[in-house]
Structure 1
Amino acid sequence: MKISGNTILITGGGSGIGRELAHRWHDLGNTVIVAGRTESALAETAAGHANIHPMVLDVADTADIARFAKAVLAAHPGLNVLVNNAGIMRFEDITGARDLDDMEATIAINLLGPIRLTDALIDHLKAQDDAAVVNVTSGLAFVPMPRTATYSATKAAMHSYTVSLRAKLEGKVEIIEIAPPAVQTELTPGQSTREGYMPLGQFIDETMQSFEWEETPAEVLTDNVLFLRNAEAEGRFDEALEMTKQF
């Protein structure tokens, strides 16, 4: 993926990883559209950045994705990069019957949302030069955290879907996966100050270094996530699962 001169759409751009990626790509000379449900948070991301443009989108709403896709292409016909970053994480007790609202919302936002938005934009992207889709998954795509079973499952599904996209769109659209480790953001309450989690700034620094390589790797990984990403291949899956079970 080229580092500048793009028009980049980032979902979940009102906070955390999405906001910081928006700022970094903006400062490298890209036009950035930040999308999310909360207009005030998007405005905070855009404040002081002339080429960051906020647009409201609910990725859990099929009709709103269709509306948004038409609106964003009308406003930014040069759009050539989609970053599927929006996501939620909910703690769950899956050992008994429960209210499934959190489970359903997690699937709608983390899995159906990026698939639907990619589908809505893919024909446009295929016609653009230097087109790319960047899917933000998680180290938990490779070793689940049982306390966040649905979140982990959606990220595993998005990893698999990303592999399929890459295989089918080879030579047409570059497909990149960012798999973060546990990062200090407000994905869950108190996470932004949780000890042992990777500071957000450090994560963004290391992630952006990969995008500055001559060829962006298919999987953008920081050193902190390799314990999970490579656990199965290195025969450490059970050890890694024992670790994630403690959270």
Structure 2
Amino acid sequence: MQTSGNTMLITGGTSGIGLGFALEFLKRGNTVIICGRREDRLEAIRKENPEIVTRVCDVADASQRENLCRWIMLEYPRTNVLINNAGIQLATRLTDPVPLDRVRSEVEINFIAPVHLSSMLSHQLASQPQAAIINITSGLAFAPLAHMPVYCATKAALHSLTLSMRYQFRHTPVQVFEIIPPSVDTELGHDMREDKSQSHGGMPIKDFLRDAMTALENDMLEAPVGPSVNLRAKREEMFPIMNR
């Protein structure tokens, strides 16, 4: 994949992996568009990095996704990269009746949004000489943490979707990548922490970005990063270790 000269949309671009990718691709000479729910975060990023284009969009809302894609195709018709990064991670106790609003939220953001956005932008991407869809899954797609079953299931679904997507786009200029992060030092999963601003540790974001960018540069279409290599290769062995 070419890592410069692109016009790219990154969902969930206001923090963590999404913001990390945005800043890294900006340094490499790309036009970077990020979207997120919170205008205050977008405004702060704009002030610090005025070259980044921002757009308020809650990807949990189908109508907002549709408006985002119409805006992209009208205002940035050279868009050739979509990074499906937005995600939420919630604990779910399946031994009690589940709160369906939380389950639906995880499924909508983590799985339905990438399906919807990729399909709506498919003709736009395929019309470019070089293009890419980059789906951010998780090592937990392969060896799940049992206390967050819905999150892990959505990432497993996104992994499966990526395989089908890659096959369907095989006769187009669109490369379909899957980046498989381990636990990365971001605020993902803050639902399970008392201090919502606290990160959960894990692989430093700069180390994750270094390895992820190397995978993209080398056209590694399915790229586990760091500890995700073991989660993918030794899933049966890793599951009981992770869930002791």
Q: Normalising to structure 2: TM-score of the pair?
A: 0.93
Residue of structure 2 in register with 1:44 after alignment: 44
Q: Deviations over 1:109-149 (max 9, x none)?
A: 00111111111111111111111100000001111111110
Q: Does 1:218 align with 2:216?
A: no
Aligned 8 A contact 1:13 1:45 in 2? no
Residue of structure 1 in register with 2:213 after alignment: 208
Residue of structure 2 in register with 1:20 after alignment: 20
Aligned 8 A contact 1:87 1:109 in 2? yes
* Partner amino acid, structure 2, of 1:39: E
**C-alpha distance in 1 between matches for 2:104 and 2:80:** 30
Distance 1:49 1:81, change over 3 A: same
Give % identity. 37
Residue of structure 2 in register with 1:134 after alignment: 134
Which of the residues 192, 198, 203 maps onto 1:198? 203
**C-alpha distance in 2 between matches for 1:116 and 1:100:** 21
Aligned 8 A contact 1:73 1:79 in 2? yes
Residue of structure 2 in register with 1:245 after alignment: 243
**C-alpha distance in 2 between matches for 1:131 and 1:98:** 40
Residue of structure 1 in register with 2:29 after alignment: 29
Q: Normalising to structure 1: TM-score of the pair?
A: 0.91
Q: CA deviation at 1:44?
A: 2.8
Aligned 8 A contact 1:15 1:45 in 2? no
Aligned 8 A contact 1:39 1:54 in 2? no
Instruction: Count matched residues.
Output: 238
- Note the residue ranges of structure 2 that are not aligned, 5 or more in a row: none
**C-alpha distance in 2 between matches for 1:42 and 1:220:** 29
After TM superposition, the structure 1 = structure 2 runs for residues 98-137 of structure 1, keeping only pairs within 5 Å, are 98-137=98-137
Aligned 8 A contact 2:188 2:199 in 1? no
Residue of structure 2 in register with 1:92 after alignment: 92
Aligned 8 A contact 2:177 2:221 in 1? yes
Q: CA deviation at 1:199?
A: 1.4
After TM superposition, the structure 1 = structure 2 runs for residues 41-190 of structure 1, keeping only pairs within 5 Å, are 41-172=41-172, 173-189=174-190
- Note the residue ranges of structure 1 that are not aligned, 5 or more in a row: none
Helix, strand or coil for the counterpart of 1:146?
coil
Distance 1:193 1:35, change over 3 A: closer
**C-alpha distance in 1 between matches for 2:87 and 2:98:** 22
**C-alpha distance in 2 between matches for 1:38 and 1:193:** 19
**C-alpha distance in 2 between matches for 1:241 and 1:5:** 41
Residue of structure 1 in register with 2:231 after alignment: 228
Q: CA deviation at 1:67?
A: 1.1
**C-alpha distance in 2 between matches for 1:30 and 1:98:** 43
Aligned 8 A contact 2:179 2:222 in 1? yes
